[in-house]
Amino acid sequence: MKQLTLQIPISVYDYEELSAEDRALIDQAKEATRRSYVPYSHFHVGAAVRLSGGEIISGSNQENAAYPSGTCAERTTLFYAGSQYPTQAILTLAVAARNEQGNFLDSPIPPCGACRQVMLEAEKRFKQPMRILLYGTSGVYEFGSVDGLLPFSFDADAMR
């Protein structure tokens, strides 16, 4: 038997340590949580992306009584960016979440599996890494690319 060990580099920053550009992106993700439609989970998630042309796009999670017809903030944002700016790569994605009491979470939340797959596809589409910033009041996790969130990924290369 052979055993493999994965090592995933994650940088952890205090919000104040981030660049003004990254703080602004996180602020957009935090603001997007206020536009969530979450009558069932009461869990507000917002996401924001910075595109290669400098635009910032944000979105929030949207629920529906007919599960799984709703969608996560990350996919809402990525799909909108792709449909409105199809030639612009996504440079950075920021995600923030608030609980039912309206407080931002202490620890950053990780994207779900479906969102990770969509993030991977966006990264592969433009053949460049997408930075990911996950906000929590106790720190911000930075991943240099989707590989840090999805180390054994499934993409078109796996089907050859």
Please give the Cα distance from 49 to 84 (Å, whole number).
Answer: 13
**Residue 11 β-bridge partners:** 142
3-state helix, strand, coil in the chain (%, to 5): 30, 25, 40
- Reply yes or no on whether 21 is catalytic: no
Q: Which one is catalytic: 63, 74, 123, 142?
A: 74
Pairing type for strands 131-136 and 90-98 reads: parallel
Q: Annotated active-site positions, please? A: 74
